[in-house]
Structure 1
Amino acid sequence: MLSQLKTLAIVATFAATTATAATAIAAPLKNGPPAPEFTGITKWLNSEPITLQQLRGKVVLVDFWTYTCINCVNTLPYVKAWNQKYKDQGLTVIGVHTPEYPFERNTDNVKTAIKRFGISYPVAQDNQYATWSAYNNQYWPAFYLIDKKGQIVYTHFGEGDYAQTEAKIQALLAQKD
């Protein structure tokens, strides 16, 4: 009986910890901080260099990813679908490819991955982690939603909560300037 109670206590503690962690993974931010500018970008793929200043008045989804991260690969169908569905309504998706391994710094490897995954939106190659550091990012994948005024208003780390993220994109696009 005592061992069953211990097991129940451990399971309950784990469940509470998991629930708390899951809540922190996707978080809308009220009056979020200004989004840091893209910095230290080695190469822009699928576009000329872009600044956040140029994107004022648009909703921006910044997606930190790397091409060998399975969690990142699993999010790509959603990111590509949001880009396709909302780009004409004012959403700009920027992939920030930040390598985990040395071979991921090779631009040809990143280009091959972009082609293989069918990514058409701009990808910034952040080989020195400058933009990653500017965002104080710690995760692959990581989404940062930036409102039309340039404020970070939503973050999500890891996979999941796709409906919540899409609902936030829709709400931001519906806001008046």
Structure 2
Amino acid sequence: MRPIRLALATLAIGAALVAAWPGNGSSTALAQDSAAKAPAPDFAGIDHWFNSQPLTIAGLRGKVVLVEFWTHECINCLHVLPHTKALYDKYAKDGLVVVGVHTPEYDEERDPANVKAAIARYGITWPVAMDNGYQTWNAYGNRFWPALYLIDRDGRVVYSHFGEGNYDETEVRVRQLLEKA
């Protein structure tokens, strides 16, 4: 009887871990009360900017900003990319700014030439910051690729999502923030 209970407990733990794995998608809606919203950290320790001059959160005030942590060899990041591109194409004219923060997982992802080639290969036209030292990653307390952080016009993080999925909910949040203008 004991081996069966142990096997069932192991299966239950495994199922819980799979459900919580970032690639399966999870999101967090932060409190709607503006006093409870977290101020967005700035882009710190950026090695290089692509498609833009250096940006700051203060300089983006008044805009709705989607910060996406990604890396060009992450399959989950590549699966999310068409959805990020669709948001950018649909809402940039309405004030949405997308900023990709490329934070490497592997050594070859630290090379600016490799990142530049990936940006061209995937047709990324929005600003991309290279965060080789993980300073922006750490400022956000991030732990996942991909990770999305939605920042309101007052510079506060109001929504986050980790992994793939929740594309409709993310779009609804973008629309809500753009409509509040």
Range with bigger deviation, 26-35 or 139-148: 26-35
Q: Tell me the CA shift for residue 11 of structure 1.
A: 6.6
Match of 2:155 among 150, 157, 164: 150
Question: Residues 29 and 21 from structure 1, CA distance in 2 versus in 1: closer, same or farther, beyond 3 angstroms?
Answer: farther
Match of 1:87 among 92, 98, 105: 92
Range with bigger deviation, 5-14 or 71-80: 5-14
Confirm or deny that 1:27 pairs with 2:32.
Answer: no
Question: Residues 44 and 27 from structure 1, CA distance in 2 versus in 1: closer, same or farther, beyond 3 angstroms?
Answer: same
Q: Tell me the CA shift for residue 156 of structure 1.
A: 0.3
Q: Give the gaps of 5 or more residues in structure 2.
A: none
Superposed counterparts of 1:46-125, under 5 Å: 46-125=51-130
2:97 partner letter: T
Q: Deviations over 1:75-99 (max 9, x none)?
A: 0000011111100101000000000
Question: Residues 138 and 6 from structure 1, CA distance in 2 versus in 1: closer, same or farther, beyond 3 angstroms?
Answer: closer
Could you tell me how far apart the structure 1 residues matched to 2:73 and 2:13 are? 33
Range with bigger deviation, 126-135 or 21-30: 21-30
1:170 partner letter: R
Could you tell me how far apart the structure 1 residues matched to 2:163 and 2:20 are? 15
Which residue number in structure 1 is paired with residue 48 of structure 2?
A: 43
Q: Deviations over 1:27-62 (max 9, x none)?
A: 110132100000100000001111111110110000
Question: Residues 144 and 9 from structure 1, CA distance in 2 versus in 1: closer, same or farther, beyond 3 angstroms?
Answer: same
3-state DSSP of counterpart to 2:89: helix
Could you tell me how far apart the structure 2 residues matched to 1:66 and 1:24 are? 17
3-state DSSP of counterpart to 1:62: strand
Range with bigger deviation, 22-31 or 70-79: 22-31
Structure 1 stretches of 4+ moved >3 Å = 3-24
3-state DSSP of counterpart to 1:111: helix
Normalised TM-score (structure 2): 0.87
3-state DSSP of counterpart to 1:99: coil
Could you tell me how far apart the structure 2 residues matched to 1:90 and 1:63 are? 17
Percent of aligned pairs with the same amino acid: 52
Which residue number in structure 2 is paired with residue 163 of structure 1?
A: 168
Q: Give the gaps of 5 or more residues in structure 1.
A: none
